[in-house]
Amino acid sequence: MSGSPRTATARRARICTLIATRSISSQEELGAILADEGISVTQATLSRDLLAIGAHKSVAGDGRAVYEVDEAAASDTSIPQSSADSTLIRVIAELLVRAEAAGTIAVVHTPPGAAQFLAGHLDRHPDLGIIGCVAGDDTIIIAMRSETEAQQLCTSLLRMAEQRSTS
């Protein structure tokens, strides 16, 4: 079962991370790793996720066929690139859990495994005034030039999330 769009996007972001950091040779192996992390997914959903993120098999140094994703896919897990603003709003609506300013830093929380995915989108959106993002598993630290800009960013992100959920 694929779950909500937020869950699917977070799961796909986690799958990208796993494929980029481990040598995974089968859907069964990937499903078991996800299950160990508490992410339940059917084989059909996993197959759709792999297709959506552009995963493909290649031959590893040891001769095994393993999944890999292109660098672009690792940072953008199949959210359509129609318009930069609508894409950003969609990603924020799906992934933003909380945003709070702390001085010149904006702290953004996402579901587990989705922080790097969201941070990539934020970094590629220059009109937000972001100096840079550092993303962990479910938290993004965003450097801003001033306390006011950090607060404005958090307010803007929260409004984008609300805008998508009310439309």
Class for the domain spanning 84-166: alpha beta
Can you tell me the distance from the alpha carbon of 22 to that of 68, in angstroms, rounded to the nearest whole number? 9
**Has residue 42 got a pLDDT over 60?**
yes
Model confidence at 120, in pLDDT bands (50, 70, 90)? confident
pLDDT tens digits, one per residue of 78-94: 333 334 567 788 889 88
Give φ, ψ of 22 to 5 degrees: -130, 165
**Has residue 74 got a pLDDT over 50?**
yes
Model confidence at 140, in pLDDT bands (50, 70, 90)? very high
Can you tell me the distance from the alpha carbon of 31 to that of 4, in angstroms, rounded to the nearest whole number? 18
Tell me the one-letter amino acid at 130: I
Distances, alpha carbon 131 to alpha carbons 104, 105, 148, 155, in Å:
10, 10, 14, 17
Q: Which helix (H) or strand (E) holds 80?
A: none
Summarize the confidence of residues 22-35 as an average pLDDT: 93
Domain spans of the chain?
5-75, 84-166
Please, is 124 exposed, middle or buried when counting C-beta atoms within 10 Å of its C-beta (0-12, 13-18, 19+)?
middle
Least confident of 2-6, 39-43, 75-79, 92-96: 75-79
The CATH number assigned to the domain with range 5-75 reads 1.10.10.10
Q: Which residues of 33-69 are buried (b: 16+ CB within 10 A; e: fewer)?
A: ebeeeebebeeebbebbbebbbbeeeeeeeeeebbbb
Can you tell me the distance from the alpha carbon of 129 to that of 117, in angstroms, rounded to the nearest whole number? 19
